[in-house]
Amino acid sequence: MTPIFQTSTYVQEAPGKNKGYEYARSQNPTRQALEEAVAVIENGKFGLVFSSGVAATDAVIKLLAPGDEVICGNDMYGGTYRLFTKVYEKFGIRFHYVNMHDPVEIKKHLNGSTKLIWVETPTNPLMNICDITAISELSRSQGALLCVDNTFASPFLQNPLDLGADMVMHSATKYLGGHSDVIQGCLVMNDGGLREKLYFIQKSCGAVPGPMDCFLVLRGIKTLHLRMERHCSNGKKIAHWLRNHPKISKVYWPGFEDHPGYAVAKKQMRDFGGMLSFTLKEDSVENAMRVLSSTKLFSLAESLGGVESLINHPASMTHASIPREERMKYGLTDSLIRISVGIEDVDDLMHDLDAAIG
């Protein structure tokens, strides 16, 4: 097993002569093993890991300078939106929040200052699908970088670098770790120059994960394929069952043939995953709260991608930082409930939801 190198520094042979490691913010062998592993599973050349998914996103934005423009989704993860609006806008970086499933919308905002396109697909929590290949053609035409947040799909279902992206980002907290016991993020890329810039940011800004956390993610990756198969089969069964439930109004899951992103999802993903959202026919916060506090197997918690099933309420939890008028515009209604389907027995999970929906 890869040892956990629990050290902050390394003994050197002589001044200026080290054994490949100087100080653990810059290098750590456990972290290095994980960086190589994440690169391999994303079909990339280089991996870098960070102390959280948000720290990985933050490193990408630090590639930019005042006056640069970013095109990103209007329904992306709330924490990414918060980082862009509350931290980086004041430094003179301009973000355009657009409907990323429509390449025409992206094209409208492309200009000489566009330096980055940020894509999340499937999106959180509405499971919208963006066409990575089509967007990569747009970013390349403008000389902008394309970074894909691949957290929801995981490398088992989708490899954005193969589809033309320059960087892949993960909240490794989710499927890569897989056991809800670690916070971590990573970036994977093919370009050596880009790797050098991002490594410089990683060591200069210091948002690196500890070796124990790297060990946990390394261990999680060993079962990623097995867990993902079960997440997908459980997710599919629950999505179809919910769709026929008399008290459910709408189910968001990209594996439905009438889902607007189905054709693209089928083209760029190997399966449809275990993340889905639904709304209640009686659309109210109170009704959603009743369901959310009645499940016994689905635990009420933020996060996703662990072996245990989780349930949450985007409007009051993960997306609380998005103003109500804004979120309503994009379909993030009051009764929208998101579930991360775990790997438990699927019949037990359906009984649990059925009893909670009532």
Q: Tell me which residues are annotated as active site.
A: 25, 77, 149, 174
Q: Does 158 sit near ligand PLP (CB under 6 A)?
A: no
Nearest to 84 by CA among 124, 118, 42: 118
β-bridge partners, 73: 98
Q: Tell me: does residue 77 bind ligand PLP (CB under 6 A).
A: yes
* Closer residue to ligand PLP (CB): 171 or 180: 171
- The span from the first CA to the last CA of the chain, in angstroms, equals 48
Instruction: Evaluate whether 213 touches 76 at the Cβ level (below 8 Å).
Output: no
Q: Which stretch binds ligand PLP (CB under 6 A): 135-143, 146-154, 260-268, 324-332?
A: 146-154
List the interface residues with ligand PLP, window 45-64 (CB under 6 A).
52-54
Strands annotated E in the chain: 46-50, 69-73, 94-98, 114-120, 145-149, 167-171, 185-189, 248-252, 275-280, 299-300, 310-312, 337-340
Closest distance between ligand PLP and the C-beta of residue 302, in Å? Answer: 7
**Residues in contact with ligand PLP, shown as a per-residue x/- string from 98 to 137 under the rule CB under 6 A:** ----------------------x---x-------------
Q: Is 79 near ligand PLP (CB under 6 A)?
A: yes
Closest distance to ligand PLP from the beta carbon of 234 (Å): 19
Binding mask 275-314 for ligand PLP (x = CB under 6 A): ----------------------------x-----------
Contacts with 353 (C-beta within 8 Å, 6 or more apart), sequence order:
238, 242, 295, 298, 339
Secondary structure E strands in 217-303:
248-252, 275-280, 299-300
Residue 183 interacts with ligand PLP (CB under 6 A)? yes
- Residue 162 is encoded by which pair of tokens? 């193969």
